[in-house]
Structure 1
């Protein structure tokens, strides 16, 4: 190798292997080298015993998958490019033409949009059930039902369902189908609980997904999702779909989530404390009809939350009194200075967004006033309270 171009590409030096430090090394590759043809033909990646191609995992992504599995209390984990991609992976792994999916009425909006769009086009139907009524779920299950989505707490309105009761309905339906029949899979979106507030598997779920974009990252700078199971057969179904769709995450993004995991519990607890303080204070404001937050006694599912959960995340929603118009509520949101208008949550900065709940739900909505959802960041509670107060004054004016 006399040419410098070849020397630089095929350089023989390898750094010593004994280096050890807290951060996980970032491995990036498309091509992975094999020792010989026999190695190329025999190496496997599905059980994380080896590496075959960058798309199928690196030491960095394998490490993150194992840590997320531990966080969720599961055994097997796959990473996806976003939380929504994790939802889509579950749908496409377990559903086929002629199947039916059941969604809670307070489902995460893009999950419903996927059901209304591509899944309908592929011959997969869906219906909605009342997540606060296990009997309604039981009544909605049909022989075509193959997947039931669960959320705790519900998107935007934060109802906390009885997950053990809902999963008991699914288990009973599976038992009635007999041996050999395709089972109904119970899939929990645990982004709100983050594997910290409760263990989704202990409450009966078969599959638990999470938007790692939120708490595991914590920096508002990464998009990523995870799908965790305890059942190897379900995991292998997911692995096959994951491979065929070409899902992958970048090494630098995996590095950021690995770093964020070190402080995830501390941030969850800190934002939980701040959120409860603001939610309780806002519930006493004359402009507000009710505040929705699982840790508040009047919020739907509060008793179930007390029984099953250890935390309550960073979200609360305020329903304003009917006397305030949507234009006034919009002015309130526009007047906030520390709370920024934007989607997502669990990052360091506080966010808010107004919602027209009746337009996105099928069940009757019991409140007449407009709703604003708040995502509390890591700012000082007193500063956030003052910001809300000045915006309320602007709304009244």
Structure 2
């Protein structure tokens, strides 16, 4: 617009109409009220739709809102919802809180179910919710097989695509109806903005957009600008995240004091074939298993100096947390040990290895 490299940030609530006739015909106009979008939000929606291969995209204030709004759009009292057991834990909390309070029956399934999801479908199954890879434990799934069986049973499919981003995996190409993303993570890229998106095919977008507007949420213009800025460097950053994470995962895998490494792009990973068949790359998030109880994991984490202890991921900084799998019913992981989820940032890999060595040295002091 006007030759500027970056789109202008439009702060708006009221949009003026040329006439009462134009007000009556407002549904045909691109902008009618700030809640329904502005030129700023439209630029990001279009960019994400192109990346995802989607009909259109909605923007919302957080990644969790990008999960809850499509679930609310396609579920109602008396419906049945299938959710992969390795799902992001706040998704489970929303399901057990709001959805069950609404009268929705929620059931969890094994991430390796594949076409066997057909055996779990019921006449009232309206949504099958996927995440690939699984949160914290990184199981992969046959997305096409699950989606084909779900569609045959009359359900809508949605997938949390935050780990891979549309640069490395495009869910709609594999039969998914709605692709969910926490733009807080890699698109934002600097740990300073919260936003989510849902990119949908043509068959589901209308109902998704109507639900968004009925709930009354959209993204703020300044946050949208930050994500647009981050999106321009996301590809370059992901190359560094991917390379550094793979180097660290291989290094950790060779250590005697690491019981297991879960990174889908490692050839040794139990679901590597599923990963390689569907994904074109990996990001900076993976986990590794430390033997023993939580106190050992805490000693390891507390010794770190460069790698921060904090939630979220996808920013320039490395982070680590002890994964809590206590809410799982199927994808629980090994009985002995604690998974450390590692977000590998943009720091020098040698510095990160030295920091992890501090953690292992603290473990050795415990015996």
User: Displacement, 1:354?
Assistant: 0.5
TM-score (norm 2): 0.96
Partner of 1:227: 198
User: Displacement, 1:299?
Assistant: 2.0
Partner of 1:54: 34
Which residue of the other structure, out of 336, 346, 361, is the alignment partner of 2:328? 361
Which residue of the other structure, out of 90, 113, 132, is the alignment partner of 1:152? 132
Whole-Å Cα distance in 1 between the matches of residues 331 and 24 of structure 2? Answer: 59
User: Displacement, 1:168?
Assistant: 2.0
Name the count of aligned residue pairs. Answer: 364
1:139-185 deviation digits (Å, cap 9, x = unpaired): 21111100001111110011111111111221332xxxxxxxxx310
Whole-Å Cα distance in 1 between the matches of residues 263 and 97 of structure 2? Answer: 31
Which residue of the other structure, out of 47, 50, 58, is the alignment partner of 1:67? 47
Instruction: After TM superposition, list the pairs within 5 Å mapping 1:89-128 onto structure 2.
Output: 89-128=69-108
Q: Is the contact between residue 159 and residue 299 of structure 1 (CA under 8 Å) also seen in structure 2?
A: no
Q: Please identify the structure whose Cα radius of gyration is greater.
A: 1
Partner of 1:5: none
1:26-55 deviation digits (Å, cap 9, x = unpaired): 00111111112111221226xxx4211111
Q: Is the contact between residue 328 and residue 396 of structure 1 (CA under 8 Å) also seen in structure 2?
A: no
Where structure 2 has 5 or more consecutive residues not aligned to the other structure, the ranges are none
User: Displacement, 1:353?
Assistant: 0.4
Where structure 1 has 5 or more consecutive residues not aligned to the other structure, the ranges are 1-17, 174-182
Partner of 2:189: 218
Partner of 1:352: 320
Query: Root-mean-square deviation (CA), in Å?
Result: 1.3
Q: Is the contact between residue 114 and residue 145 of structure 2 (CA under 8 Å) also seen in structure 1?
A: yes
Which residue of the other structure, out of 40, 44, 59, is the alignment partner of 2:23? 40
Matched, 1:245 2:215: yes
Higher mean displacement: 21-30 or 159-168? 159-168
1:272-326 deviation digits (Å, cap 9, x = unpaired): 10000001101111111110010112323210111111111111111113xx332
Instruction: After TM superposition, list the pairs within 5 Å mapping 1:73-84 onto structure 2.
Output: 73-84=53-64
Higher mean displacement: 133-142 or 374-383? 133-142
Whole-Å Cα distance in 2 between the matches of residues 364 and 379 of structure 1? Answer: 32
Q: Is the contact between residue 137 and residue 333 of structure 2 (CA under 8 Å) also seen in structure 1?
A: no
User: Displacement, 1:365?
Assistant: 3.5
Gap change, CA 1:34 and 1:274, over 3 Å in 2:
same
Where has structure 1 moved over 6 Å in runs of 4 or more? none
Whole-Å Cα distance in 2 between the matches of residues 211 and 272 of structure 1? Answer: 18
1:125-152 deviation digits (Å, cap 9, x = unpaired): 1000111122542221111100001111
User: Displacement, 1:199?
Assistant: 1.2
TM-score (norm 1): 0.89
